[in-house]
Structure 1
Amino acid sequence: MKKIAIYGKGGIGKSTTTANLSAAFSEMGLKVCQVGCDPKNDSTRLLLGHICRKTVLDVVRDNDAITSEDIVHTGYNQISCIEAGGPEPGVGCAGRGIIVALEKVRELNVLSDMDAVLYDVLGDVVCGGFAVPIREGYATDIYIISSGELMSLYAANNIAKGIKRFALRGVVRLGGIIGNSRNTLNEKKLLQEFAARLNTYLITFIPRDSIVNEAENKRQTVIQYAADSDQAKVYRKLANMVLHNAKMTVPTPMDFEELEALAEKYGSKN
């Protein structure tokens, strides 16, 4: 089983990328489950065609005796979709909610027959709850999504620190940086060097394309909405690379001054 976690700064495109990866894997004939680890419970929206109406925490709050059917929802191309959910706004810790939800998923053994499980995780490894997929062995192959924007790189570097910490005492490894373009200056070159500094590589560079927004407005992945588009081909190629990736590493994060200097190096037309 491939156990994959996708991390990155909030708003960088984690859910969109993860959902398109899930769709591409399902096209390969794999049995796929996507697990949303964000209290907004919108990770699987493009696969289900709507916001998940029952998260794991919703079900747990309502009923102690639950079954896998209560928390697993079927989406596009028979992809299994699970949303961890979170506490009511202003009440409780969202990270703690992730812990409770994933423990329930493990207890019910709903992932045992999957070929690929993808965890879409809120990009905050400062809180222990969001580190659970890599800390507790739910995922072993970690990918970080980043653009060439400084704060996106800063978040990615912090995530790499967390991955390094857990990699040194387990099997978790960094599989690469997924570049999600924001059309910043020298963006691809910057991401290539950033990845190299982290002891990994830029596994793909996803171009900015309006068809992504079109698909999202239709509540679909690009794979479903525009199956023959160039953007769909990018996601399929990424899925194939992730499935067969053997370049798994322990990252070497930078200090902030080094990161700033790197961004400055590529942030000029000269």
Structure 2
Amino acid sequence: MKTVAVVNQKGGVGKSATTLNLGAALAEVGRRVLLIDLDPQGHLTKALGLQAAPEHANMAKALLGQWAGELAELVTVYRDNLTVVPTSEDMFLLEPQMYAKTGREYLLSLLLDAMRPAFDYCLIDCPPSLGALTDDALVAARTDAEREGWVLIPVEAEDSSLDALRLLLRQINTLQTVLGIRVPIAGLVANKYDARRGRIATSTLEAYRNHPTLRLLEVIGDRKEVREAWRLHQPVVEHAPNSEAAGWYRNLAKEIEAR
């Protein structure tokens, strides 16, 4: 199983939409995909039209070692080849408890190791912060002799996204140094792009294209099909399979598959 952490501490950049639509594009070509909603706000869970996980059986309990059941009981089958671990209300209280755990950075990774044979890809929708949950997702997306993973960074074509990107790269470098691990970055995906917004949008996109160390994998335009699919709790490739937007997500899936 290859693990992709969809990360950016800046809110509103399209992390959940990227996770959902990339996952659906991979599932469309027969890949067995697990989506994990690690964001306490639960945007991915809501976008799929799912309910939050029950208080007695959820990812938060599993991360803290308070779930004695089978991990398979924590997942919800959404479509063929597309399975989801929804968020739960107690995710809001999880991070302070994680900080008290020894080896807290590896809690999610250990859980995913047990699920590895059942899936081809695991996509993790991260919260808009650089706290313990994001650290765990980054560590779970490491590459070593036993596992393969990457970080995918959704961005918008605006100056504040460039600033957030610099902070995120610093956090990833710190984790790699402190823990002695390798966390590869697959690249960037620019969301909600509209050249009509003027010079800030176009110049920022150009800065992403010319980044010295990161690849811009795909540009997702600001299209009504993406917004419609979100409101209808559907992936774009299902709601508007022949649209330009669906093609962008299929291209992004090909980029991930090619790694």
Same fold (TM over 0.5): yes
Counterparts of residues 81-160 of structure 1 (less than 5 Å): 81-85=84-88, 87=90, 91=93, 93=95, 96=98, 102=108, 105-106=111-112, 109-125=114-130, 127-137=131-141, 140-160=149-169
**Closer/same/farther in 2, CA of residues 137 and 16 from structure 1, 3 Å limit:** closer
Distance 2:202 2:72 in 1: 43
1:54-79 residue CA offsets vs partner (Å, 9 max, x unmatched): 43236789x74211232011012331
TM-score with structure 1 length normalisation?
Answer: 0.77
1:136-181 residue CA offsets vs partner (Å, 9 max, x unmatched): 5567311111112222222222111122233453221111111113
Q: Report the equivalent of 1:11.
A: 12
1:5-48 residue CA offsets vs partner (Å, 9 max, x unmatched): 1112211111111100000001111111111111123324444x
Q: Is the 8 A contact 1:23 1:221 kept in 2?
A: yes
1:171 is aligned to 2:182: yes
Q: Report the equivalent of 2:192.
A: 181
Query: What's the CA shift for 1:196?
Result: 3.2
Q: Which moved more, 1:109-118 or 1:9-18?
A: 109-118
Paired-residue identity, %: 22
Distance 2:225 2:30 in 1: 25
Q: Is the 8 A contact 2:127 2:134 kept in 1?
A: yes
Q: Is the 8 A contact 1:33 1:111 kept in 2?
A: no
Query: What's the CA shift for 1:217?
Result: 1.3
Distance 1:24 1:67 in 2: 28
Q: Which moved more, 1:14-23 or 1:210-219?
A: 210-219
Structure 1 unaligned regions, length at least 5: 246-270
**Closer/same/farther in 2, CA of residues 45 and 94 from structure 1, 3 Å limit:** farther
**Closer/same/farther in 2, CA of residues 136 and 242 from structure 1, 3 Å limit:** closer
1:57 is aligned to 2:68: no
1:32 is aligned to 2:33: yes
TM-score with structure 2 length normalisation?
Answer: 0.80
Q: Which residue identity is paired with 2:244?
A: D
For residue 124 of structure 1, give the secondary structure of its aligned residue in structure 2. coil
Q: Is the 8 A contact 2:193 2:220 kept in 1?
A: no
Counterparts of residues 166-245 of structure 1 (less than 5 Å): 166-168=175-177, 169-183=180-194, 184-186=197-199, 187-194=201-208, 196-245=210-259
Distance 1:21 1:219 in 2: 15
Structure 2 unaligned regions, length at least 5: 143-147
Q: Report the equivalent of 1:77.
A: 80
**Closer/same/farther in 2, CA of residues 143 and 87 from structure 1, 3 Å limit:** same
Q: Which residue identity is paired with 2:150?
A: D
RMSD over aligned Cα, in angstroms? 3.0
For residue 87 of structure 1, give the secondary structure of its aligned residue in structure 2. helix
Instruction: Number of aligned residue pairs: give it.
Output: 241
